[in-house]
Amino acid sequence: MAAHTSRAFLSLGRINVPGLGLHKSVSRVTYSTGLSTDSSKATTGSPQKGGKKVLSKKYKREPGDPRTELMPVDQDWTAVYPVATPFIPDAIPLPVRMGCPVKGGAPPEKKGNLELIKIPNFLHLTPAAIKKHCEALKPFCTEWPSALDTDAKCDEHFPIKVETKSYVSAGPSIRNPAARIVHLSVKLSSLNLNDQARKKMLKLVGDRYCKDTDILTITADRCPLKQQNYDYAMYLLTVLYHESWKIEAWEAEKTVADMEEYSWEGSLSQENILDVLVRMKEAGEGEGEEVREQLLGRREVQEYKDSVTRLKNEGENESTMLQYKEAVKKVLKL
Amino acid sequence: MLSMYFNIHGGSQQQEAVAAESEPEPLSIFRTQENDPACQSEKHFGQYYTLPSAHVRTVFPHGLPMRYKQQVKTFNEACMMVRPPALEVISSLKKTDNSKPAVRYLFYGLKGSGKTMTLCHTIHFCYTQGWLVLHVPDAHLWVKNCKELLPSSFNSSRYDQPLQATEWLRNFRITNEPFLSKIKTKQRYVWTKRESTEEGSTLGELVDQGITRVKTSSDVVGAVMKELRLQSGQPESDFRLAVAVDGVNALWGRSTIRKMNNTAVDPEELTLVYNLRKLMKNDWTGGAIITTLAQTGAVYTSKYSYLPKELLGEKGFDSMDPFIPVSVPNYSEKEFESCYLYYMDRHWLQYPHSRTEDGKKELIFLSNRNPSMLERICGFH
C-alpha cells in the first residue's frame, strides 16, 4: 500500500516527503520508468562517502509492475472505479495518449500525463456500473404498466407530455434558475376541435405549432418555481381550448385575405370558367342555375377545380403547372 | 459533327449521303429550308429557319429582342430556331375555332430561355396565315420611364401617355398595312370640338388621326383595340385577331410613374394599360391571345422569379385564368448542338479552342445551355 501511495505521489509530482535527496530522485523518476536508477544510489551514496554514518539510508523499494499488468480481463471494473476519481494511469489498462504530438511522433503517453488528469472522466459510469445502480434503485420503483407497450398507446392515453430539466452541481448553491422551465407538448389531433375551432386555435397559437408533426408546444418560464410554471402551462392549454370553441360576432367579417386555404367555390376562378363554358357551345341548353349546376358537375370542371386548388395551396412548381395546363386544355376542349 | 463541318466545305460524297438521309437541306444539318411556320413539324426541332427580310421589316418593327437585332445585322440574315413550345402553340392556333372565345397562352421560363423569341416565332406564323397581329413588344415600357403624363380627356381619373401611344401606333401601321383600308369603324369617335372620326371610316384613318394628333393618341389606341375586339369573330369580318403581349405581368404589377403630388400611379389608371387589360379578357371570339412573362424589365420583382403566379400576382392570375401555361426551357442537347454549329458556320466562334470537344464542354458548363448566356459567351470565344 505504501508503495502504491508513494507511486501515486510520484506521478502527481507533488511531494511532501521530508528527507534529503529524495526531491532530486523524485523529479528524475517522473520522466522515467519505475526502476530506480544508479543516480539515486549515487546521491544516497554521496553522504556515505562524506564519512557521515547515515543510518537512515532510505530503503527504496523497487516499484513493481503497474496494476494494469495484474488485472484479469474479466475483472469487476466497478470495484476499480467505484466513484468519480481522477485518471490513474496505472489503474486503467488502456494505452491512451493525449496532448500535442511531438514532431514526427505520437502524442505523449498516459504515464504522468496532466492532460488526462485535468479532464473529467466517466470511468465510474460504465454500463456495468449503471446496471448496478439500476438494480439498487429497483426496490424503490413500480413496474411499467404492461398495457402501455407501444408508443401509440402511450400517446393515446397520455396525450399531454411535460418536459422539465433538473440540474445537479456542486457549488455554493444547489438551486439552478434554468430548472423552472416547463415545456408542455400536445398533438392537436387528440384535442376535440372542429374545423372552425382548429383554425382559430392555430391563429391564436401562431409559432408554437409545428405543422409537420401536428404538435403544439407551450413553454412556460415566467414563474420562479417549476410547479408554478407547470400550473400556468396547463391553464394556458385549457384557456386556448375553450377560447377556440367560442365564436365572436366579429368573426363573421372574415375576408378572403384572412382565409388560411384557398377554396374554389365562390372564387373568381369559378366565375371565369363558368363564364367561358357558357359562352362556348354549352350556352344553348338553357339559362340560369341549372346550367351552372350541370357544368359544375362535369368531370373536366372538377379536374380543373382540383388543379387550381392545388396550385394555389401548394404553390407552383413544374408538376402543379403541368396539371393545371392539362386540366385547362381538357376544359376548353383543345 | 466536326467531320460534318469540314465536309461541307470539302463537298465530298459523305455530305450528299448525310443530306439525303435527313431532310432536303443540302447546306447543313442545323438548317432547314422550311421557312413557312405553318409547315414546320417535329422533324424540324432544333433546326434554324430563315425569316425573309421583308417579313422582318414589316412584322417586327419593334418586336425582336435587342441582342437578336444586333445578331441579325451582324450575320446579315434572321435565323430562328424551331423549338417545341412554339410549335405546340402554333398547332393549337391552327385548330382554333372562330366561334369560341379567345384562348390565352402564356410562355414562362427562366431568364434568357427564349420566351420572346418563341413569341416572335408564333407571331410570324400568325402573319403568314394572314391574321391581324396586335403586338405589344414590351408592356413594361408603358409602366415606367414616362416622360409625359397627361390627364385623360376621356376619363378624368385616368392618365394618358402620348409618346408611347404614338410610337406603338406607328409600328402597328407598319405591320398591318393591308388591313387598314379593309376594316371600317362601327362607331363615331369625337376627339375635340372640331375633330371627330365618323362611323364607317377606315381603321387607317383612325390610326393616322392618332399619329398626327399626338394628344389624342392614347384614346385612339383604346378605340383601335375596341374596334378590333368587337369586330373579330363576327361573321362579316374576314380577319382573325392575334393579340401578342410581351411582359404581360406589367399590366397587373406596380408602376414607377408618379403623379404630380408624388404618389404612385396604379397601372389601372393608365389609359393604355386599362384598354389592354380589356383586350386580355377572353370575352371576344375569333382569335387568340399569346403572352409572355418577363422579369427582365419588370419593376419591383425579384430577379429570380419566373413562375406565372409569382410574376402575375393574385390579381393577374385571376384575370388570366383559365390560360394555358407553356414552359420554355433551356436548350436541350440537340438544340445546343444546333446552335453551336450555327455559330461555327457563321464564324462567330473565333478561337480554335472552341472547335474542340473541350471547348464545347466549356461552353456547356459556362452557359448551362441557357440561350442568351450562350449567345453572350460565344461572343467572347
pLDDT digits (tens, 9 = 90+) for A38-68: 544 444 544 445 555 556 678 888 888 889 9
Name the residue facing B282 among A276, A311, A334 (closest C-beta): A276
Residue numbers in A near B322 (CB within 8 A): 269, 272-273, 276, 304, 328, 331-332
Q: Do A273 and B322 touch (CB under 8 A)?
A: yes
Helices (H), chain B: 2-10, 13-21, 53-59, 66-75, 84-94, 115-128, 162-175, 177-180, 203-212, 217-231, 271-280, 308-320, 333-345, 357-367, 371-378
Residue numbers in A near B109 (CB within 8 A): none
The yes-or-no verdict on residue A296 having pLDDT over 80 is: no
Render pLDDT for A229-242 as a digit per residue (tens, 0 to 9).
Answer: 999 999 999 999 99
Query: What three-state secondary structure class fits A35?
Result: coil
Virtual torsion, Cα B307, B308, B310, B316, nearest 10 deg: 170
pLDDT at A55: 63
pLDDT at A317: 86
Separation in Å, CA of A265 to nearest CA in chain B: 14
Residue numbers in B near A304 (CB within 8 A): 322
Say yes or no: A318 contacts chain B, CB-CB below 8 A: yes
The yes-or-no verdict on residue A214 having pLDDT over 90 is: yes
Closest of B187, B191, B189 to residue B153, by C-alpha: B191
pLDDT at A49: 53
**Residues B112/B371, Cβ–Cβ less than 8 Å:** yes
The yes-or-no verdict on residue A4 having pLDDT over 60 is: no
Residue numbers in A near B318 (CB within 8 A): 267-269, 272
Separation in Å, CA of A267 to nearest CA in chain B: 9
Residue that is written with C-alpha cell 375553450 in the block: A242
Phi-psi label, residue B361: left if phi above 0, alpha if psi -120 to 50, beta otherwise: alpha
Separation in Å, CA of B319 to nearest CA in chain A: 8
Say yes or no: B315 contacts chain A, CB-CB below 8 A: no
Q: Do A332 and B322 touch (CB under 8 A)?
A: yes
What DSSP designation does A183 have? Answer: E
State how far the Cα of B122 lies from the Cα of B115, in Å rounded to an integer.
11
Burial level of B45, CB count in 10 A (0-12/13-18/19+)?
Answer: middle
Say yes or no: A304 contacts chain B, CB-CB below 8 A: yes
Separation in Å, CA of A295 to nearest CA in chain B: 15
State how far the Cα of B308 lies from the Cα of A317, in Å rounded to an integer.
10
- Which residues are CB-neighbours of A53 under 8 A, at least 6 positions away? none
Strands B132-136 and B241-246: parallel
Question: Which of A190-199, A291-300, B33-42 bottoms out in mean pLDDT, i.e. has the lowest?
Answer: A291-300
Say yes or no: A328 contacts chain B, CB-CB below 8 A: yes
Residue B24 vs residues B17, B32, B43, B50: alpha-carbon distances, Å: 11, 8, 12, 15
**Residues A180/A221, Cβ–Cβ less than 8 Å:** yes
Phi-psi label, residue A66: left if phi above 0, alpha if psi -120 to 50, beta otherwise: beta
Residue numbers in B near A306 (CB within 8 A): none
Name the residue facing A334 among B101, B103, B282 (closest C-beta): B103
Gyration radius from chain A CA atoms? 40
- Which residues are CB-neighbours of B126 under 8 A, at least 6 positions away? B93, B133, B242, B244
Say yes or no: B61 contacts chain A, CB-CB below 8 A: no
Say yes or no: A126 contacts chain B, CB-CB below 8 A: no
The crossing angle, in degrees rounded to 10, of helices B371-378 and B357-367 is 130
Q: Do A318 and B327 touch (CB under 8 A)?
A: yes
**Residues B236/B291, Cβ–Cβ less than 8 Å:** no
Burial level of A256, CB count in 10 A (0-12/13-18/19+)?
Answer: exposed
Helices (H), B196-325: 203-212, 217-231, 271-280, 308-320
Low-confidence residues of chain B: pLDDT under 50: 1-25
Helices (H), B145-242: 162-175, 177-180, 203-212, 217-231
State how far the Cα of A285 lies from the Cα of B217, in Å rounded to an integer.
44
pLDDT band at A285 (very low <50, low <70, confident <90, very high): low
Query: What three-state secondary structure class fits A52?
Result: coil
Q: Do B321 and A308 touch (CB under 8 A)?
A: yes
Q: Which of A255, A259, A268, A305 would you mutate first to test chain B, the one with the most B CBs within 10 A?
A: A268
Residue numbers in B near A275 (CB within 8 A): 283
Closest of B167, B313, B303 to residue B254, by C-alpha: B313
Q: Do A328 and B309 touch (CB under 8 A)?
A: no
Say yes or no: A321 contacts chain B, CB-CB below 8 A: yes
- Residue by residue, DSSP assigns B338-357 as HHHHHHHHTT---SGGGGSH
Residue numbers in A near B321 (CB within 8 A): 268-269, 272-273, 308
pLDDT at A20: 46
Nearest chain A residue to B97 by CA: give it: A334
**Does the CA dihedral A25-A28-A33-A39 come out positive or negative?**
negative
Helices (H), B95-135: 115-128
Buried b (16+ CB within 10 A) or exposed e, A27-59: eebeeeebebeeebeebbeeeeeeeeeeeeeee
pLDDT at A32: 47
Q: Do B307 and A316 touch (CB under 8 A)?
A: yes
Render pLDDT for A107-134 as a digit per residue (tens, 0 to 9).
Answer: 999 999 999 999 999 999 999 999 999 9
Say yes or no: A137 contacts chain B, CB-CB below 8 A: no
Whole-complex ipTM = 0.83
Say yes or no: A308 contacts chain B, CB-CB below 8 A: yes
pLDDT band at A299 (very low <50, low <70, confident <90, very high): confident
Burial level of A150, CB count in 10 A (0-12/13-18/19+)?
Answer: exposed
- Which residues are CB-neighbours of B257 under 8 A, at least 6 positions away? B143, B144, B146, B149, B159, B264, B265, B270
Q: What percent of chain A has pLDDT over 90?
A: 54
Peptide bond preceding A101: is omega within 30 degrees of 0, i.e. cis?
A: no
Residue that is written with C-alpha cell 371570339 in the block: B285
Q: Do A276 and B310 touch (CB under 8 A)?
A: no
Question: Which of A40-49, A82-91, A176-185, B77-86 bottoms out in mean pLDDT, i.e. has the lowest?
Answer: A40-49
**Does the CA dihedral A169-A172-A174-A178 come out positive or negative?**
negative
State how far the Cα of A67 lies from the Cα of A65, in Å rounded to an integer.
6
- For B160, how many CA atoms within 13 A lie in the half-sphere containing its CB? 21
Closest of B296, B309, B299 to residue B253, by C-alpha: B299
Kind plus residue range of the DSSP H or E element containing B241 = strand B241-246
Closest of A177, A204, A172 to residue A188, by C-alpha: A204
Residue numbers in A near B282 (CB within 8 A): 276
Q: Do B322 and A304 touch (CB under 8 A)?
A: yes
Q: Do A269 and B326 touch (CB under 8 A)?
A: no
Strands B196-197 and B189-190: antiparallel
Separation in Å, CA of A250 to nearest CA in chain B: 26
**Residues A187/A211, Cβ–Cβ less than 8 Å:** no
Nearest chain B residue to A307 by CA: give it: B322
Mean pLDDT of the residues in chain A: 83
Nearest chain A residue to B92 by CA: give it: A334
Separation in Å, CA of B326 to nearest CA in chain A: 8
Say yes or no: B100 contacts chain A, CB-CB below 8 A: yes
